[in-house]
Amino acid sequence: MPPVDVLGIRVDALALAGLLGAVDALIDEHRRPGAAQRAAAERCATVAYVNVHVANEATAHDDVRRFLNDADICYCDGAGIVLGARMLGHTLPGRMTGADWIWDLAAHAEGRYHLYWLGSEPGVTDAAAAVLQARHPALQISTDHGFHPKHGPENSALIARINAARPDIVLVGMGTPTQERWTAENRAAIDAPVVWVLGATADFISGNVKRGPAWLHQRQEWLARLIVDPRRLWKRYLVGNALFLLRVARQRASAGPVSR
């Protein structure tokens, strides 16, 4: 299916199998010998996601919108985006959130790819990686926390550590918009085929943050997270969701009748 435009953001209409296959293709292209490899090596490919919070940040910040639209892949990570696309007369296969697909990526990468997972507070990503390796013992995964200074010598040392590990996929989980900005600023220096932003996935997999009841987060992740942490997230979800729907309604009105 062709990409969908939601609030000026290109969202690729991919299901999970298609997403992993597209990442495989990006890695293969980077490794291809000759001119294609040299061109791909100029910067790593970028995989991004969009949910309601990310869409709202992209509406407020042009650099975040550019990052999403410049990404090689930008997939749907929220039920709100599925709803927004439907309001605009389009169909997306569904949402894919990191805390769910990370298990499929681990199985897919085991014995095939080296992952480098960067993000969260010190120790959290280490714990999350250990959880994945308990299920996939042959998974090769390096880790680092995401609270380094974003510029200067410490950031340069971080990039050097990433490159020394020679990963196939660099996972960046610093939260939006920090992870998008850090990736945009550093991807030319990262020697890896793919860099993939994935939000707070390490917090969930490590158990550092609870997702809420499974029956609820499988249907309405935002509501499950709001119940778990209402003080921090009420504005993001209650105000943010309403703003998103209003903006989608305006996009629909400006586009004229919706064909189905």
Burial of 152 (0-12, 13-18, 19+ CB in 10 A): exposed
Domain-embedded: residue 260: no
Domain-embedded: residue 113: yes
- For tokens 């900005």, what's the residue? 181
Lowest mean pLDDT among 39-43, 86-90, 214-218: 39-43
Domain-embedded: residue 164: yes
Domain-embedded: residue 97: yes
Cis omega (within 30 of 0) for bond into 257: no
Hey, how many other C-beta atoms are within 10 angstroms of the C-beta on 96? 19
Domain-embedded: residue 145: yes
Domain count, the chain: 1
Domain-embedded: residue 19: yes
pLDDT of amino acid 39: 54
Domain-embedded: residue 75: yes
Lowest mean pLDDT among 115-124, 210-219, 230-239: 210-219
Give the integer Cα–Cα distance in Å for 70 and 221: 27
pLDDT digits (tens, 9 = 90+) for 214-226: 666 666 777 777 7
Give the integer Cα–Cα distance in Å for 111 and 244: 41
Find the domain containing 197 and state its range.
Answer: 4-255
pLDDT of amino acid 215: 63
- The DSSP secondary structure of 173-232, one letter per residue, reads ES-TTHHHHHHHHHGGG--SSEEEE-TTHHHHHHTSS----HHHHTT-HHHHHHHH-HHH
- For tokens 């897919």, what's the residue? 108
Q: What share of the chain is helix, strand, coil (3-state, %, to 5)?
A: 55, 15, 30
User: Could you tell me the pTM of the whole model?
Assistant: 0.91
Domain-embedded: residue 215: yes
pLDDT digits (tens, 9 = 90+) for 141-161: 999 999 999 999 999 999 999
